[in-house]
Structure 1
Amino acid sequence: MKYLITGGAGFIGSNFIHYLFGKYPDCEIVNLDKLTYAGNLDNLKAYEGDLRYTFIHSDIANPKAVEEAMRDVDIVVNFAAESHVDRSILGPDEFIQTNVVGTQVLLDAAEKHKKRFHHISTDEVFGHIPLDEHYKFDEQTKFDPRSPYAASKAASDHLVSAYYNTYGLEATISNCSNNFGPYQNPEKFIPRAITNVLEGKPVPIYKPGNQIRDWLHVEDHCKAIDLVLQKGKAGETYCVGGQTSEISNKQVAMKILQIMGKDESMLKEVADRPGHDVKYAVDWSKLKKELGWAPQHSFEDWLSKTVEWYVKNESWWKPLKAGVEKFYFKLGR
């Protein structure tokens, strides 16, 4: 089997490449990545010179590059996306170009060459849930994006569905909750908290710290994607989440501090972002019922493993950290 992985140098994409080679050692992978700030070839050093692996430095919005990359593959998995809400607020243009136009270019090529297509999306397309409500997002939830990032992903989801309905493209979509784990850029909440503690810096929490997320370890996510590719039904959407109980961002930060032997004095409240969604919760019962998926470990176990990874891999995250903090300094956070 030969895969085209777009955005394969990013956090989730590179973890999926590691997963595929681990589970299917005879597979071949083409990785097409633009290498924005979020793409990092150090994530995939293990495959430099590996004949099973080909890297193409290009943009999914480049029709010629996409055409060449897709020609000989069997399956396309689209991870390529601009994905940071704060950055989408500062500059929506790149999000529209990559997440909407880029997806359309991929779909055109996939339809032309009759490829199996899977699109990675986010639960943020559904909007947010009031803190005092206890329902969860599922595959029937109406889209209500609240940031330029979420709106661009909602548009791309609609495009994928339209290509299935209009052209019969063998396509599926998965909407995942907040991922964490190895190789995640330290701009994100959990790795930023961990690396700040390692550097002796405060852990910033958006006020008032009661925001709730549904945390999904990236390895569990990779297994879910594989199951959708193997058993999923064309035209279907699958929600992927990791939590069985609610946990606030402040509680997550406290768990990290506890794991690392620190106390609450290292927390620092910072100004909230504009339009900050207060709560996400994902109902992943369809994925469990139809495909047999469930998280391998508890959130606490995965969080401990994630802390351990960042402790052992300072040489990976340290070069990225200065740029991250410069960005947040501009935001006053």
Structure 2
Amino acid sequence: MSGSGSGTRTVTVIGAGTIGLGWIALFLGHGLRVRVNSRRADAPAHVNEALELLSPFLPEGTADPATFAARLEFEPDLERAVAGADVVVENAPENLELKQELFERIGKAARPDALLLSSTSTLNPDDMGARMADSGRLVVGHPFNPPHVVPLVEVVAGERTSAEAVQEAVAFFESVSRVPIVLRKPILAFAANRLQSALLRESVHLVREGVVTLEELDRVVTHSIGLRWATIGPFLAFHLGGGTGGLRKWLTTLGAGLESGWELLGRPPMDDETIHSLIEQAEQAYGAMSYEELVRARDTKQTAILRTLARTDRAT
């Protein structure tokens, strides 16, 4: 993936929804030229409002938001938007037919050496690129929301994806301070969302059964496993739980009954009653704050954690 003639790479972001907006802010913060392709008539105003909300929470050391406007442009025509771009990042709705059409057009209009990325959380690169003459440069780069704050990006290749494209995707995400993890095999919903879904299922079960309220469940997580997982993953946590014997000791003592414990986990039906109860409780718990206020509160705390961890890592 060669740089543009100006020396500054150009990234085309397709879609200005929640994920697209986070990418736009992150890429501008890292000095890239960003070309936005959106069907929204108010795309410039929409993006600029989002940048004002999101830019305070970009990684330390990123560019001054006052410089963003000079590197930001809008192009509603897809073919013109991707022409000449070094990287294309697609963030369209999770509709396979729509993405196949987009990548068919992108493949014809983009530079042959452009890196083509999709933020999809469910679809395989081979399926999305089925109508392309060559989908070898199409790679999934699935972020964890919000992408301008949370570092993880799951990099997923298809059978037709070239090894070079995967390497370039990893290098690109590292260049914008993300932590790319290449999945060793494609799996539906990838890794992070499967973990999140497993926790959400049991969360719904506990709330539905009246064990805790929705707000109390959130507090249980943020004051225990959420705090723990901000610093170490589940395997290291239980490795430490085994004391000096590590995971070997834990699995053969406290963890010996794991399978029987898994049998007790809930399988809550997502019927009308459950959905209504969850929505009602969420609105009671968080309805007093606007979306923008909740985003600022979330990103302030998450950014503080990341910056503290970075300082700790530098000191050790």
TM-score normalised by the chain length of structure 2: 0.43
Higher relative contact order (CA 8 A, sep 6+): 1
